[in-house]
Structures are given as structure tokens and as C-alpha cells.
Amino acid sequence: MGGTTRDSDFALRLTAWHHGHGRHDLPWQNTRDPYRIWLSEIMLQQTQVDTVIPYYARFLARFPDLASLAAAPVDDVLALWSGLGYYARARNLHQAAQAVMTRHGGEFPRRAADIAELPGIGRSTAAAIAAFAFGERAAILDGNVKRVLCRVFGIAGFPGERAVEQRLWALAEDLLPQTEIGTYIQAQMDLGATLCTRGRPACGRCPMAEICVALREERVAELPAARPKKTVPQRHARVAVIVADGAVLLERRPPTGIWGGLLALPEIPEGTADPARWVAARYGLQAGEPAMLPPLNHAFTHFRLEMTPLRFDVAAAAAAAADADHRWLALDALADAGLPTPVRRILAELADGPKETPQRELPL
């Protein structure tokens, strides 16, 4: 091992702890299949294990291998991802599968440096895949690992700052053991996820208690430093819920940006004084006075969105506004569509609840 005796002690303590107390029976463990490992690593980005497990099982049932994922329509991939959030992960997953098939002959790259060149795979994720699937000696630095290193070695500053992150990367590489690399990498993840948690860490059961700077200096609550506070912007949007004969008109979002590539409710341009006239001009559908459905708030990473849904009822005979970017979706078929979570909630309430009484005064 490189580094000081204390650094070596870190790896020894960690792997010894993991043998007896780490997680060993997760669905994506006990395999060297890079496809399954890669899928789990992408799904686990900013998502809890308990949330990922059922999605992981359904995804593998539909796409059991890389070739089947690469050959699938992106709509099918997004549909299976619906509700998991951060949809760019699904689009990148699909693109990366196609890249492996076309650029690597269907063989998943073995080196972390090559894996990191695939869409949606950063340095840490690539290292984890290479370590678990191929035994490469590569360091990771996800959120759990950053928290553990900041506390054990007393590293101040927000880990997202470039200088702090560079210091953490240097430390993570120096700490790498020569053997049991997969166990060591998994142990880092497990320690941060189960004991060295953000709130209420179980320091009394932590294998690092004797060498932890934060514990010794009573700075556990301070480390790692929190992200500098910023005012979270509040945005507002009105969306058109255009209904005809038990189906709703959906519009495909642009491939990049929020909900990229998903089907969503059309957004009514800001300042539109007569939404019914806008529906007629935009889609050629004649609708009466809209009904204002209950507003819905949704938090994104960098802003909050308040959505005000306006329901427009149109005649089924006139419901012809469908093309490559639009689709009529039956309200009893929501489960099979790739929809953003707030859109799914709006439509689920619409399918289950009574029709709202039209209101004349609508927000602009």
C-alpha cells in the first residue's frame, strides 16, 4: 500500500469491517457482469438503494443484457425509468449501450479510462465498474466516500469546491490497497451509507472511531462542510391537460434539459391571456372554458416548480393533434408510459377524481 501507516490502517480497518458488517446480498453484488454493475451504478446515483432495487429488477427483466438495451427504442427505456428521476441517466444509459455495440464490438470496456468515455459515466462511476467487474485498482469518490474521508482525515471545506475535491481525489488514490480492491471499494460505499451517514452517524460502531479526526475533535456535525447556501428560485408554469374520450394529449420534451425525451403536458406560454384560444391555435382543437385543477409543487435540484394544470375537454372526433412529437395516452394506460413524476401525479388524480368545475378567473 502507498501512503502513511495511518493511511494503510484505514484500508485494513475498512476491509476487515466489511467482511463482517458490510452489505453482501444486494441484487447487483456477487457478479462480474459489467452490464449489471454499470446499470446499478447509474441507478444508484443520487438515489437510495431501497428505491433502486425494484427498478433494477424490472429493467433487467425487460433488458437482460447490453445488446437488448442498445436495440430498444429510447421510449421503452424512459418508460421503465419513469419515477426514478434524473432522466438524463436513462438517455445516457441507452446511448452508452449503443456506443459499446458500435465502437467496442459489444464488449464492455475493461479500463476505467475507457469506460469514462461512454455517455453518462464519470471518473468515479467508471472506476467502480472497473474495480467490481475487472479488478482494476482505481479510486472512487462518490458522496459517501467524500463524507467518510472528510471526517476521518479532518478535511475542511465544501467537497464540491475544486481545490477540496482535488485533495480528496489525491487522498482516495493514496489510500488504495494492493489487494481486495472490489471489497475495499464496496466497503467505502457501505460505510458512508450505513454508519457514517450525513445525519446521526453511528460513530460508536464505526471501525474508524479510533483514528477519526472529526470524532476526536468533536467536529462530526461540521464535516464535510455544507454546500454554500443559495436562494432556490421558484418558477411557475401552466400546463394544458387536453382530454378527449378518456385520453390526454402529451407532448414530447426536447432531448436535453428538464425531462428530456419524456412525454409531458404541453406548457402554456407565459402571459397567455386566453388559454383556450392558444389550444385552438396550437393544436387545432376547439375547447370551452378550461377547468383549473389543483396546483402541484415539485422540487428540482436547482429550483422549485409550481405547476397549474388547466383541463380542456375536446371532442373525440376532433382529436387529431397527434404527430411524431405528440401522443394521445389513455388515462387507464399511465403505468406503461415514460412520464415525469409530477405529470404522472396530475394524470393519476385526473383519472381517479371527479371533474373540476370550470373557473373563469385564471392566473396569467
234-352 CATH pick, 3.30.1380.10, 3.40.50.620, 3.40.50.1260, 3.90.79.10: 3.90.79.10
CA distances from 38 to 17, 44, 139, 219 (A): 25, 10, 16, 35
Parallel, antiparallel or unpaired: strands 304-313 and 234-244 = parallel
Q: How far apart are alpha carbons 99 and 361 in whole angstroms? A: 52
* Active site residue ranges: 41
d(CA 360, CA 282): 21
Alpha-carbon distance of 219 to 61, in angstroms, equals: 46
The ranges assigned to domains in the chain are 5-216, 234-352
Judge contact between 37 and 179, C-beta under 8 A. no
Pairwise CA distance, residues 2 & 259, whole Å: 44
Each residue's pLDDT expressed in tens, for the chain with a length of 364 residues: 344 445 579 999 999 999 999 999 999 999 999 999 999 999 999 899 999 999 999 999 999 999 999 999 998 999 899 888 888 999 999 999 999 999 999 999 999 999 999 999 999 999 999 999 999 999 999 999 999 999 999 999 999 999 999 999 999 999 999 999 999 999 999 999 999 999 999 999 999 999 999 999 999 999 999 988 888 899 999 999 999 988 999 998 888 788 888 889 999 999 999 999 999 998 888 888 899 999 999 888 788 899 999 999 988 656 656 677 888 989 988 887 888 889 999 998 887 764 443 333 333 3
Report yes or no: 209 and 281 within 8 Å, Cβ to Cβ.
no
For 318, the 3-state DSSP assignment is: helix
Q: Which of 265, 297, 296 is nearest to 282 (CA)?
A: 265
> What's the predicted TM-score (pTM) here?
0.76
Name the 3-class secondary structure at 70. Answer: helix
For residue 182, give Cα distances in angstroms to 29, 127, 139: 10, 10, 10
Look at residues 221, 161, 227, 146 and name the one whose alpha carbon lies nearest to residue 191.
Answer: 146
Q: In the structure grid, which three cell numbers stand for residue 313, read together?
A: 375537454
Residue found by looking up cell 462530526 in the block: 220
Per-residue model confidence as pLDDT tens digits over 164-213: 999 999 999 999 999 999 999 999 999 999 999 999 999 999 999 999 99
User: CATH homologous superfamily of domain 5-216?
Assistant: Hypothetical protein; domain 2 (1.10.340.30)
